[in-house]
Amino acid sequence: MSHAFGTELNLNIHPQLPRRKDWRIGCAGAGFIIADCHLVAYRNAGFNPVAIASRNPATAQKVAARHAVPLVHDSIDALLADSQIEILDVAVPPEQQPDLIRRAVGFGIGRLRGILAQKPLALSVAEAKELVKLCADAGIVLAVNQNMRFDQSVRAAKDVLNRGWIGEPVLATIDMRAVPHWMPWAEGMASLSTFIMSIHHLDTFRYWLGTPDRVLASTRPDPRTQFPHQDGINLYILEYDSGVRASSWDDVWAGPCKEGVAGETGIRWRIEGTEGLMQGTIGWPKYPAREPSTLDFSTRRQPGMWFRPRWDDVWFPDAFVGTMAQLLVAVEDGTEPEISGRDNIETVALCAAVFAGATEHRVTTMKEFLA
């Protein structure tokens, strides 16, 4: 290896694309995630959104006009009944999603090939398991939009782990000091940060290291968020029987940086192994500016050197090509999606374990939530 190695790595930051790009996609929802992420990414990738519907038809009309979606339905049920749709792209609030998927399966048996749900698939493990079985029994491939797995640095880090360049993982950490924009539907949910924000990091740890065995967690309300909530700033440690540990500080407060203080926001991550280490940044806090995430790593194979591969892609919106692409590839090949509903059951269980550990002040195990 040489200093040029950083540009020769060819790390796996891009998703596999389907052979067929004209799968007919129907979009259920017309909010930010569809309008500014999904449809932007789909158009860039050459995918084929053919219809859209929303609770507010006027909003759906505006989004359709912006992205040249040819058909707007007056209701989501009309969209679900549209016989041309092969792939359903769901983007509704978490509490509404399970019932929408149930209705979609009822409308789509024998015609609907795949569903891309939002994360979390459900707010309980029992309901997530029900949806997975429902879709499997109907022959519909179910995937969940855990889009941080397709952030370019997260994906590159997984590739470095797979290649063994830093040896056996010892400690992985994520340090987030960034302020999410809570959507109106978040008010009134039983959980705020855990199932909306921390779920990204918890699923990423699962992607990198697998599912942990135990959880230690603490939370407190976010001073900035005015509506009642239990989990705001989340701190947690994931224990693995293999010995590796993972931890994240999900600081959605980040100090009074929105109230005049010259605060610094951002997300940094780090993975230390027996043969090397890697660290990086996540670019989404700078959105809508295009700020690529980064990865730097050092390995004992080349002592004293840092390798710093770079790319122009960004999480929002480019990663959303990957979440749809992996579903389409699974439909084509008859395989399990990379972010399948079945896999997401364990992410939902991990969120439940973190929330219970933090609010009940106890060590939780994954076994009790997956039983």
**3 pLDDT tier (thresholds 50, 70, 90):** very low
Q: What is the pLDDT of residue 263?
A: 85
CA 63 to chain centre: 23
Average the pLDDT over each of 46-50, 92-96, 180-184, 333-337 and give the range with the smallest value.
180-184
185 vs 165: CA distance, rounded Å:
43
Average pLDDT over residues 17-44: 98
Arithmetic mean of pLDDT over the chain: 96
Backbone angles phi, psi at 116, to 5 degrees: -105, 105
With a cut of 60, say whether residue 297 has pLDDT above it.
Answer: yes
Q: What is the pLDDT of residue 100?
A: 98
Percent of the chain with pLDDT over 90: 95
With a cut of 60, say whether residue 5 has pLDDT above it.
Answer: no
C-beta of residue 336 within 8 angstroms of C-beta of residue 345: no
The DSSP output letter for 340 is B
> Which fold is adopted by the domain 24-147+322-339?
Rossmann fold (3.40.50)
Helix, strand, coil percentages, rounded to 5, for the chain: 35, 20, 40
* DSSP annotation string for 292-313: --EEEEEETTSTT--B----S-
Q: What is the pLDDT of residue 8?
A: 52
Helix (H, G, I), strand (E, B) or coil at 268: strand
Q: What is the pLDDT of residue 9?
A: 78
C-beta of residue 340 within 8 angstroms of C-beta of residue 144: yes
Instruction: Give the residue ranges of DSSP H helices in 224-364.
Output: 319-333, 341-360
Average the pLDDT over each of 104-113, 205-214, 358-367 and give the range with the smallest value.
104-113
| Short-list 333, 330, 311, 310, CA closest to 322 | 330
**1 pLDDT tier (thresholds 50, 70, 90):** very low
Average pLDDT over residues 168-172: 98
Domain locations in the chain as residue ranges: 24-147+322-339, 149-315+348-370
Tokens of 369: 């939530």
Superfamily classification of domain 149-315+348-370:
Dihydrodipicolinate Reductase; domain 2 (3.30.360.10)
User: What does the CA dihedral 333, 336, 341, 344 come to, rounded to 10 degrees?
Assistant: -140
Average pLDDT over residues 313-325: 98
With a cut of 80, say whether residue 293 has pLDDT above it.
Answer: yes
pLDDT digits (tens, 9 = 90+) for 198-232: 999 999 999 999 999 999 999 999 999 999 999 99
C-beta of residue 118 within 8 angstroms of C-beta of residue 200: no
Q: What is the pLDDT of residue 366?
A: 98
With a cut of 70, say whether residue 55 has pLDDT above it.
Answer: yes
